[in-house]
Structure 1
Amino acid sequence: MENITIAYPTSDITPLDSTSNMTTEYYEDYVKSPLDYFTLVVYSLAFLLGTTGNGLVIWFTIFKMKKTVNVIWFLNLSIADFTFTAFLPISIIYLANDFNWVLGTFMCKLNSFVAFINLFASVFLLTVISIDRCISVIFPVWCQNHRTPRRSVFVVIGVWILAIIFSLPYFIFRDTYEEYNVVTCYNNFVFEYSSDIGRSRHEGTVIVRFIVGFLIPFTIVVFCYTVIAVRIRRNHMTTSTKPFKVIIAVIIAFFGCWLPYHIFSFLELHSIYREDEYLASETRLGIPLTSSLAFVNSVVNPFLYVFIGRDFKDKYWRSIQSIFEKAFIEDSTHNDLKSKTKSTSDSNVV
């Protein structure tokens, strides 16, 4: 039987992320490994917990809570995570069917497209939240007059537009390939990784994803929270730490879950174009694991919203609505600074 070489998808947040070139014999003799079963379990749990947790956040923030700026930020984070986890059954079907894609080319494209919209929307929103907190600390009076839910909606719209733009390559290049009744959903950069055009497109997507979806946002986030910490310490400000802890926890969870994925994406590039068989075998193991870790990020956020910075017994006896309201309560940093300034002025008058 003739061997076929497929330009395999590699780093696209689905169970099909293997760096090896598949052959028809491989497909016919394919037997699920323990890693495949582990991935199935992780994806199934992520779907159940992610849709339930994020669905609750969406319901309460839309129907039960006042539309403050913080609520709008976290609502959109939950929408991104909910949409992502809602599509997980597609990946589960693909893996359960021994990597034989049965849902057609459009769903192959859409599945990857949605996954990366989640990535970019989440990281852009976390960056916006960090900038928003920084501005609230540095310019409290300005924020009191100009930081409004209506303006935050326009910012959120811009975030989603950018996320869609940066995710378009994963819709355009995603394709299906059928050989001997086996259909693969993969990145059709030009069919062959040996092609200069295909290689440059593959490298470009990985590099842009890392720079735009991780490096720049991470730098901005670290800078903003460094400024916040210095400003709070310098002014001896007593702030409400509840929303601050939630934001810090969400950011740590996001970057902690996604950094391994970006690292293995670059290792994967190296293994493909340098034809490093040892590294290829390592990435075949690492990509599914790091993709699973990235999935987990969409599950943990709702729990962080509720449980960070609060006494568990106290939360247990509160209503769910009250928990969410207190988790998203607006930070009083700018009010504390304003009060401190007023107190200083009054003492000088006396």
Structure 2
Amino acid sequence: MELSTLFPSSPNPLALQLEEEEDEYVLVDDLPSELETTLRYLSIIIYSIAFLLGTIGNGLVIWIAGFRMKKTVNTVWFSHLAIADFIFTFFLPLSIAYTALGFDWPFGTLLCKLNSTVAFLNLFASVFLLTIISADRCVSVVRPVWAQNYRTTRLASAITMAIWLVAFCLCSPYLAFRDTIQDNETNVTHCYNNYAFSTDFDDLEVVALRSMRHQVMISVRFLFGFLLPFGLILVFYSLMALKLRRSHLSWSSRPFKVMATVVVAFFICWFPYHILSVLEVVMHHWDNKTLKSAVLIGSPLATSLAFFNSCLNPFLYVFLGRDFKESLRRSILLAFESAFSEEHGKNTSSQEKSRSISDQSSQCT
């Protein structure tokens, strides 16, 4: 395989974007240049919005949940979820610049490695945190006495540290595989996955090794970043539904709604990305032009949707923490406390909640 096949003299923006996020090579005919340009600019716009809203919104969540509110198990979960999203959105300008420059990477090999590693660190850390949040809610409903005795902030902090460690282990291969290469014909540098640690694209053994490692990476990402967590979350929510039904209780608690909405939003945003990742593997074993075109067109859209998820949560906390109009009238601190608050029974009055905010505010000033 010639290098020009990987990086054609007139670069296909969609193919290169797919390569950046998904694969080390794409063998498809060029799509219409107007469509390529449109999707490239659309990606830049969405990345930019995610960067602005994500850094500000998640930074605000970290400040309020970490420093302005009383430390609870819920604030531990959501502050770490915000940290994962903040780190990812902080690195987004690199992807914005790379896309805007026509997929010419000017930042060096180290940042090429870090940029992809941070993206998948966010994926694994976020989905693991959402799984633990769902498990925590399930235990609180199914085993309330145990939760009251053992559900502590110290245990929550220890679990989050373990989550970060596992997430880093799963994304660390990108520190090794991610690499840069220069196309001498166009003088453009590309950031890509060098799964074989070789630029020899003609040797059959190297090609086979590259393909095998690529399939393993996508399989691990799909299994641990989507399928298993999604399955566990379904189990946890099914157990909760069964318990609530038997006890004739309702799902109306506000913290539960916030958590459930955050989980649903995450999987809706990441589902197309993972499906296209699997289809991309199929694409290399099944010569179907329609499938290849669908993967090429869908990948930048799915990637943009996945990236956009990193800026959604702060808005969900605010607008679901209270009634929409009330959230606009009241302070942001009150809205976040409502989203993260622990449940103390259905008869807690709004006067007691307001007093809690006043007490916390006075302690912080």
Q: Which residue of 2 aligns with 1:161?
A: 165
Q: Which residue of 2 aligns with 1:80?
A: 84
2:37 is the counterpart of 1:33: yes
197-206 or 108-117, which moves further after superposition? 197-206
Offset of residue 57 of structure 1: 0.5
**Of residues 199, 212, 236 in structure 1, which corresponds to 2:248?**
236
Offset of residue 232 of structure 1: 1.2
CA contact (8 A) 2:254 2:339 kept: yes
Amino acid at match of 1:185: C
The DSSP-based 3-state class of the residue aligned with 1:331 is coil
Measure, in 2, the Cα distance between the counterparts of 1:18 and 1:333. Answer: 53
2:292 is the counterpart of 1:280: yes
The DSSP-based 3-state class of the residue aligned with 2:5 is coil
Q: Deviations over 1:121-177 (max 9, x none)?
A: 000000001111111112111111111001100000000000000001122111111
Which residues of 2 match residues 233-272 of structure 1 at below 5 A? 233-237=245-249, 241-272=253-284
In 2 relative to 1, CA 331–167 (structure 1 residues): closer, same or farther, beyond 3 Å? same
- Give 5+ residue unaligned stretches, structure 1: 337-350
CA contact (8 A) 2:44 2:96 kept: yes
TM-score if structure 1 supplies the norm length? Answer: 0.87
**Of residues 218, 230, 237 in structure 2, which corresponds to 1:225?**
237
In 2 relative to 1, CA 156–335 (structure 1 residues): closer, same or farther, beyond 3 Å? farther
**Of residues 202, 205, 210 in structure 1, which corresponds to 2:222?**
210
Q: Which residue of 2 aligns with 1:346?
A: none
In 2 relative to 1, CA 312–173 (structure 1 residues): closer, same or farther, beyond 3 Å? same
Q: Deviations over 1:237-276 (max 9, x none)?
A: 3576111000110010011111100111111112234343
Q: Which residue of 2 aligns with 1:63?
A: 67
Measure, in 1, the Cα distance between the counterparts of 2:252 and 2:294. Answer: 45
Amino acid at match of 1:73: W
The DSSP-based 3-state class of the residue aligned with 1:5 is helix
Which residues of 2 match residues 1-350 of structure 1 at below 5 A? 4-6=4-6, 14=21, 20-21=26-27, 33-180=37-184, 181-190=187-196, 191=199, 192=201, 195-237=207-249, 241-308=253-320, 310-332=322-344
Amino acid at match of 1:188: N
In 2 relative to 1, CA 141–161 (structure 1 residues): closer, same or farther, beyond 3 Å? same
The DSSP-based 3-state class of the residue aligned with 1:292 is helix
Offset of residue 38 of structure 1: 0.7
Offset of residue 320 of structure 1: 1.0
Measure, in 2, the Cα distance between the counterparts of 1:308 and 1:13. Answer: 35
Offset of residue 335 of structure 1: 11
Aligned sequence identity (%): 48
CA contact (8 A) 2:276 2:299 kept: yes
The DSSP-based 3-state class of the residue aligned with 2:69 is coil
- Give 5+ residue unaligned stretches, structure 2: 8-14, 349-365
Offset of residue 204 of structure 1: 0.5
Measure, in 2, the Cα distance between the counterparts of 1:182 and 1:115. Answer: 23
The aligned length equals 330
Measure, in 1, the Cα distance between the counterparts of 2:111 and 2:237. Answer: 40
Measure, in 2, the Cα distance between the counterparts of 1:227 and 1:3. Answer: 53
Offset of residue 30 of structure 1: 11
In 2 relative to 1, CA 228–245 (structure 1 residues): closer, same or farther, beyond 3 Å? same
Measure, in 1, the Cα distance between the counterparts of 2:5 and 2:99. Answer: 20
In 2 relative to 1, CA 213–121 (structure 1 residues): closer, same or farther, beyond 3 Å? same
CA-atom RMSD in angstroms: 2.7
CA contact (8 A) 1:305 1:327 kept: yes
In 2 relative to 1, CA 142–333 (structure 1 residues): closer, same or farther, beyond 3 Å? farther
In 2 relative to 1, CA 312–5 (structure 1 residues): closer, same or farther, beyond 3 Å? same
